[in-house]
């Protein structure tokens, strides 16, 4: 690979939006000033300072045209939704955090380093590249009050003499120089995709016995992850939030259950949704105004969350899967962020910090508390670009399914293929579970389990005991043994040509999978569709 860091140079135009006005100007020198707002761009570092003005967004236009023959791969706000792929150029498309171009054997990456202090997205066309920085606090302008905000650091790279996948992986290394990673291969079972919230301690222990059968002979113990079902106020199909102080009647002693799992020979893991909490002792001041979830910008609310993390670690769970933080903070799923992450008109408790800073503060608090107990952090519905370096693992796509193969095909395979460059460069990726309920043909699920194991990423199965035949169970056993070592590292060879790669290869072997049911894909109407394009005003 011939690799070099390239510079975007200075922007030609700048647009700054405050609560009072929006202004577009030519950008001259290294700084732009209007009133008490000052934006500096030097060596790719973008900073903004303001005294009284509440700053909302900054837009920088760089006179660096993209070749009209380029194929482009953009990233996503928080996770994939089966919609990531290489495409032709579209000036309408917005690309959160970073994007790559492929043109006649030359690959270029344009992005911001992980953990910026702004929510960033890009747009590219044949006349230039535009970087948007959302520095709002929630949906209102941030009140910096004289503070100089280091908003983002631009990173650009060019590579030749390699594949597009190799270039993408190397660019991820440029954006993240400090990932935190598990010290052993993580794999095992998660009960969600067959229990769907209806479980008990007794069933978890039976699941564990079945998992031990599936991993017999593995030197590396698997994880048994208890998903939504255990918390004290759990109401099936109605409420999946906290408090997180104890289990419910089906889970009478969470600490004792963790000890039982360890005694059986597995690692205990647990799911939690920290920000949704109906504890009536929580003051209203600690809650976000538009949805009542905990506001991590409030120091007392953040301390409360840290206590929840500490309690779970002290029970003995060595993997915490924290979920829903993006939705609970912004009121939108990633596919609804078009292009901004949240609506106008509201703010977090601490109006002096940007949304990105508040998200990073939450992730850091969870990680630092878990680190005291050597507990792994798996983020789900979390913003990967803000979490790299603050979480060991990232659930990088929307849910797969234990009932509908088309959902697993679309969400799972797409996520695995297109997030794989971030694997062990940002964190370890988790493309989600293999749901084994008997509703999906084993031949399809077998391939899904196998490609995860062959990729060297984390394989979790939701296997209902008694569904698989002895022959099928032995096939899964061999796949689980493969997943326990993560020695395979196949990559999608055809990812530039399809959104559901079928050909996966490494230096010694190529495997072709068939992801399609004989009758073709299952098509149903959807009146609520979102598009990854900048909307018209």
Mean pLDDT score of the chain? 96
Domain boundary residue, one of 131, 152, 175: 175
- Establish if 413 belongs to a structural domain: yes
Same-domain check for residues 167 and 71: yes
pLDDT score at 452: 98
Is residue 261, in this structure, part of any structural domain at all?
yes
- Percent above pLDDT 70 for the chain: 97
Distance CA 436, CA 191 (A): 10
For residue 533, being part of any structural domain is answered with no
Task: Judge whether 523 lies within some domain.
Answer: no
The tens digit of pLDDT for each residue in 507-523 reads 989 999 999 998 888 76
**Cα–Cα distance for residue pair 4/8, rounded to 1 Å:** 13
Pairing of strands 13-18, 22-26: antiparallel
- Residue pLDDT, tens place only, 223-251: 999 999 999 999 999 999 999 999 999 99
Within-domain flag for 375: yes
Of 175, 199, 217, the residue that ends a domain is 175
CA angle 333, 338, 344 (to 5 degrees): 85
Residue 117: pLDDT band with limits 50, 70, 90 = very high
Q: Which residues contact 222 (CB under 8 A, 6 or more apart)?
A: 187, 188, 189, 211, 212, 215, 266, 267, 480, 484
The secondary structure of residue 64, as a DSSP letter, is -
Instruction: Give domain status of residue 525, yes or no.
Output: no
pLDDT at 522: 76
With H, G, I as helix, E, B as strand and everything else as coil, classify residue 423. strand
Per-residue pLDDT tens for 444-459?
999 999 999 999 999 9
* Beta strands 45-50; 148-160: pairing state: antiparallel
Give residue 192's pLDDT. 95
Whether residues 198 and 171 share a domain: the answer is no
Q: Is residue 527 part of a domain?
A: no
CA 145 – CA 537 distance, rounded (Å): 31
* Cβ 431 vs Cβ 457: under 8 Å: yes
| CB within 8 Å of 131: residues ≥ 6 apart | 59, 60, 62, 112, 120, 121, 122, 152, 154
If phi over 0 gives left and psi between -120 and 50 gives alpha, with beta otherwise, what is residue 273? beta
**What single-letter DSSP state applies at residue 536?**
P
pLDDT on residue 526: 60
Residues 152 and 250 in one domain: no
* Helix (H), strand (E) at residue 39: strand 37-42
Q: pLDDT category, 534, cuts 50, 70, 90? A: low
Instruction: Identify whether residues 70 and 208 lie together within a single domain.
Output: no
Helix, strand, coil share of the chain (percent; to 5): 25, 30, 45
Beta strands in 167-299 (DSSP E): 188-190, 223-226, 267-272
The CA-to-CA distance between both ends of the chain, in Å, stands at 43
Model confidence at 339, pLDDT cuts 50, 70, 90, reads very high
Token pair of 330, please? 């912004």
Q: What is the pLDDT of residue 215?
A: 98
Asked if residue 529 has pLDDT above 60, the reply is no
- Which pLDDT band, with edges at 50, 70 and 90, does 317 fall under? very high
Expressed as residue numbers, the domain containing 75 is 2-175
Question: In this structure, what token pair is assigned to residue 479?
Answer: 């796949």
Is beta strand 2-5 parallel, antiparallel or unpaired with respect to 106-112? unpaired
pLDDT tens digits, one per residue of 46-104: 999 999 999 999 999 999 999 999 999 999 999 999 999 999 999 999 999 999 999 99
Q: Report yes or no on whether pTM surpasses 0.85.
A: yes
pLDDT at residue 334 is higher than 80: yes
* 3-state class (DSSP) for residue 173: helix
State the total domains in the chain: 2
Same domain, residue pair 155 and 283:
no
Residues 226 and 171 in one domain: no
Residue pLDDT, tens place only, 274-298:
999 999 999 999 999 989 999 999 9
Which structure tokens are listed for 133?
């920085």
Query: Is 180 a domain residue?
Result: no
Residue 450 contacts residue 459 (beta carbons within 8 Å)? no
Check whether residue 435 and residue 314 sit in a common domain: yes
E strand residue ranges, 273-340: 319-322
402 & 254 share domain:
yes
Q: What is the pLDDT of residue 430?
A: 98
Q: Specify whether the CB–CB gap between 501 and 492 falls below 8 A.
A: yes
Shared domain for 348 and 486, answered yes or no, is yes
Residue where a domain terminates, one of 152, 175, 198: 175
Whether residues 160 and 222 share a domain: the answer is no
Q: What pLDDT score was predicted for residue 503?
A: 98
With bands split at pLDDT 50, 70 and 90, how would you rate the model's confidence at 533?
low
Nearest one of 535, 449, 527, 442 to 488, comparing CA atoms: 449
CA distances (Å), 361 to each of 49, 226, 295, 368, 400, in order? Answer: 21, 26, 11, 10, 29
In the structure encoding, which two tokens stand for residue 498, read together? 């399809």
Q: Which long-range contacts (CB under 8 A, 24 or more apart) does 509-512 make?
A: 511/450, 511/451, 511/454
Q: Give CA angle at 32 (26, 34), nearest 5°.
A: 100
Same domain, 159 and 263: no
As a whole number of angstroms, the distance between CA 148 and CA 155 comes to: 21
**Phi, psi angle pair for 276, to nearest 5°:** -95, 110
CATH of the domain at 312: 3.20.20.70
* Exposed / middle / buried, residue 105 (Cβ in 10 Å: 0-12, 13-18, 19+): exposed
Strand arrangement, sheet containing 223-226: 428-430, 393-395, 376-380, 319-322, 267-272, 223-226, 188-190, 460-463, 434-436
Chain segment 124-147, per-residue pLDDT in tens:
999 999 999 999 999 999 999 999
If asked whether residues 164 and 195 sit together in one domain, one would say: no
| Side-chain-facing half-sphere of 406: CA atoms under 13 Å | 7
* Rounded to 5°, angle at Cα 474 from 471 and 475: 90
């Amino acid at each position: 690979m011939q690799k070099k860091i390239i510079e975007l140079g200075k922007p030609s135009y700048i647009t700054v939006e405050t609560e009072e006005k929006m202004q577009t100007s030519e950008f001259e020198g290294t700084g732009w000033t209007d009133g008490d707002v000052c934006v500096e761009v030097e060596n790719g570092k973008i900073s903004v300072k303001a005294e009284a003005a509440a700053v909302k967004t900054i837009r920088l236009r760089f006179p660096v045209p993209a070749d009209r023959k380029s194929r482009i791969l953009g990233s996503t706000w928080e996770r994939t939704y089966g919609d990531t792929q290489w495409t032709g150029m579209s000036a309408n498309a917005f690309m959160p955090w970073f994007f790559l171009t492929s043109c006649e054997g030359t690959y270029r990456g344009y992005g911001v380093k992980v953990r910026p202090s702004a929510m960033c997205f890009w747009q590219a066309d044949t006349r230039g590249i535009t970087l948007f920085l959302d520095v709002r606090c929630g949906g209102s302008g941030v009140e910096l009050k004289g503070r100089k905000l280091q908003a983002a650091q631009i990173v650009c790279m060019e590579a030749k003499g390699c594949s597009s996948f190799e270039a993408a992986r190397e660019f991820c290394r440029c954006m993240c120089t400090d990932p935190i990673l598990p010290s052993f291969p993580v794999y095992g079972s998660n009960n969600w995709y067959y229990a769907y919230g209806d479980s008990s301690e007794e069933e978890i222990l039976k699941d564990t016995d079945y998992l031990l059968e599936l991993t017999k002979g593995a030197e590396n113990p698997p994880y048994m992850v208890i998903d939504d079902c255990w918390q004290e106020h759990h109401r099936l199909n109605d409420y999946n939030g906290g408090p997180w102080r104890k289990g419910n009647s089906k889970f009478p002693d969470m600490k004792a259950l963790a000890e039982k799992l360890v005694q059986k020979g597995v690692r205990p893991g647990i799911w939690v949704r920290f920000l949704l909490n109906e504890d009536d002792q929580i003051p209203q001041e600690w809650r976000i105004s538009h949805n009542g979830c905990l506001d991590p910008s409030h120091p007392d609310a953040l301390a409360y969350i840290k206590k929840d993390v500490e309690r779970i670690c002290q029970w003995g769970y060595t993997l915490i899967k924290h979920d829903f933080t993006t939705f609970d903070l912004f009121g939108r799923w990633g596919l609804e962020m078009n292009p901004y992450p949240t609506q106008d008109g509201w703010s977090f408790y601490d109006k002096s910090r940007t949304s990105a800073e508040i998200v990073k503060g939450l992730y850091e608090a969870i990680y630092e508390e878990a680190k005291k107990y050597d507990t792994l952090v798996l983020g789900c519905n979390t913003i990967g670009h803000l979490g790299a370096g603050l979480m060991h693992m990232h659930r990088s796509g929307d849910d797969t399914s234990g009932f509908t193969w088309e959902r697993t095909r679309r969400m799972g395979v797409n996520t695995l293929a297109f997030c794989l460059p971030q694997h062990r460069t940002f964190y370890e990726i988790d493309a989600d579970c293999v749901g084994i309920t008997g509703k999906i043909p084993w031949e399809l699920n077998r391939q899904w389990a196998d490609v995860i194991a062959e990729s060297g990423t984390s394989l979790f199965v939701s296997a209902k005991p008694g569904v698989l035949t002895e022959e099928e169970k032995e096939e899964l056993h061999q796949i689980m043994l493969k997943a326990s070592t993560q020695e395979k590292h196949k990559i999608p060879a055809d990812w530039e040509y399809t959104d559901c790669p079928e050909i996966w290869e490494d230096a010694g072997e190529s495997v072709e999978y068939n992801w399609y049911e004989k009758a073709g894909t299952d098509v149903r109407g959807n009146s609520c569709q979102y598009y990854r394009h900048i909307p018209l005003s």
